[in-house]
Chains A and B, each alone.
Chain A
Amino acid sequence: MRSMALARRNFLDIWRDPLYVSLTIGLPVFMLVVLQLLSGVDAYFTATSLAAGIVLFGFVMLMFSAAMALSRDRESALFSRLLTAPLRPNDFVFAYSAPYIPVAILQAVAIFVVGLFFDLEVAGSILLVALVLLTVAIMFIGLGMIVGMLFSYKTVPFAYAAILILTIFGGAWMDLSAIGGPIETFASYLPFAHAIDATRDLMINGADFATIATDYYWVLGYTVVTMILAVIVFRGRMVE
């Protein structure tokens, strides 16, 4: 598969930057530890309750770095050379996305392992938790592809900030149902609250798939649409 050659290059690019890998995995873990040490006994901020939000935060970081890497490449002569290779837009999206999946997995695993020291529990199926989080990770990486193709290296941080602000409506740091009104309605149209609700339901309430199905399909829908959009954007930018 020709796209594997490019995916390998992008994978090596990530893993040969130890500072990047440490920060990407370390920052969310640091966030969890600090919040645990500061939050005392507030039930809303237990490790189990926070894990989903912090994983989401880590994935937003991944989106940012995927977008930055693609945007930087796009402005290089190497990218023009890559575009003369017989790859289709979906091959490019795969090659730039796939190397971030192991990072996402490591990030989530690190948060869950450190969470164990703060009494993190998973009442439901860990495999379902993994399925939900993997789907969310792919959605964020896909968003990174779109941002990286549409924005310049200098303007990617603004797109990152906008998406970071939108993730507040995921309800990781506030109880959306208690706020209610248009904010809750707005949040329900975004994928973030559904991702966090599904993960929390699985971890805290031990829910089965049928219970989280609606939330999961919202996330899956966004992921599929994001990836299709990424391919369309790539196709549009391959020829001047």
Chain B
Amino acid sequence: MNSSTHEAAAIHLSELTRRFGELTAVDGIDLEIRHGELFSLLGPNGAGKSTIIKMLSCLLRPTSGTATVMGRDISMEPIAIKQVIDVSPQETAIAENLNAWENLGLIAGLHGIKRAEAKERARDLVAMMGLTERAGDKVKKYSGGMKRRLSIAMALISDPDVLFLDEPTLGLDPQSRRAIWEHIEGLKGSKTVLLTTHYLEEADALADRLAIIDEGRIVALGTADELKASISDGTVTLVEADGMSEEAIEALRELYPDVRKVHNGAEIRAEDVDVYDVQDVLRPLGVQIRSTQHKTVTLDDVFLHYTGKELRE
């Protein structure tokens, strides 16, 4: 990768590694995120997503490797980086004794936004998050969901060049999640957004590109469609059956190499699955087929394929 490519990238990670004692939380990650791109890190809890965000927002020193944000090195120029980023942490991060306006004003002030502009943005964000009626109350009186929505609004008020959203919709109701998705989608093209999530549909719906991360490593990288295409032609046949044994799975593999046992039967990834062939293989082994259905490949399947685990576990 040449230097001009690095300059074009809003975020560049090179062999970025972070260890906590014996544990390697982030393991030599190379990655480039383009200006205006909405990039998602998808992975289960403990995969290393938040550690990456903490390093990129200059809260955590890398053990080795480097990273730049808008061309600035995270170890050498933290203040310059902090001037162009904002972060929505995974935990709800609000000042409990202030009201919503004051919380938003606090973050706007820290990022040097003029008071009139901050007020206007705060009004929009409070309305978007459905907090207008209670915005004047101390937030310690808010419900958990309201606090969460305010915490996310606080990351959006500074309108930064680079926005880190660490599990932004975790624990939110569908309506609030939808509102935040719409807002994030509106940032596409103009802001660089790094979104971590373990909601597959979130990554699928929002991300221009995504990386599947597991045990601190990127195991797959591309657009959602590219990743889905990488594991099959796009179809999965789900065979729901009673008594699906390992022996039955092995027998199916002789017909179709990509077969997995699932809790209620088996999944076959293959272009043309002949249900009668499947029946012929399974019946002599005492497996009773209840139903078969074709479904399209999802990111869940992609995740399972690359990590051997289900993301929702």
Contact = CB atoms under 8 A, between A and B. Distances in A.
Interface of A: 2, 4-6, 8-9, 12-13, 16-17, 76-78, 80-88, 238-240
B97 interface: yes
Contacts of B79: 86, 88
Contacts of A87: 82, 110
Interface string B127-170: 00000000000100000000000000010000000000000000
Most A C-beta atoms less than 10 A away, residue of B83, B91, B110, B111: B110
A93 to B, nearest CB: 15
Contacts of A2: 109-112
Q: How large, as a class, is the contact surface on chain B?
A: 20 to 34
A16 B97 contact: yes
A92 to B, nearest CB: 11
Contacts of A5: 105-110
Contacts of A81: 87, 89, 93, 107, 154
B91 A77 contact: yes
A158 B94 CA distance: 28
Which 5 A-B pairs give the minimum distances between C-beta atoms? A5-B109, A77-B91, A85-B110, A77-B93, A86-B82
Contacts of A16: 97, 138
Contact of B110 (A17, A82, A238): A82
B109 A84 contact: no
Contacts of A9: 95, 98, 102, 106
B76 to A, nearest CB: 12
Nearest to A17: B97
22 contacts: A5-B107, A5-B110, A6-B106, A6-B110, A9-B98, A12-B102, A13-B98, A17-B97, A77-B89, A77-B92, A78-B95, A80-B54, A80-B59, A80-B89, A81-B87, A82-B110, A84-B57, A84-B85, A84-B87, A86-B79, A239-B60, A239-B78
Nearest to A88: B79
Interface string B97-124: 1100010011111111000000000000
Contacts of B60: 239-240
Contacts of A17: 97
A83 B54 CA distance: 11
B188 interface: no
A68 B289 CA distance: 65
Most B C-beta atoms less than 10 A away, residue of A6, A16, A76, A85: A85
B150 to A, nearest CB: 11
B220 interface: no
A17 to B, nearest CB: 8
Nearest to B83: A86
Contacts of B54: 80, 240
A6 B95 CA distance: 10
Contacts of B112: 2, 86
A73 to B, nearest CB: 9
B86 to A, nearest CB: 7
Contacts of A86: 79, 82-83, 110-112
Contacts of B89: 77, 80-81
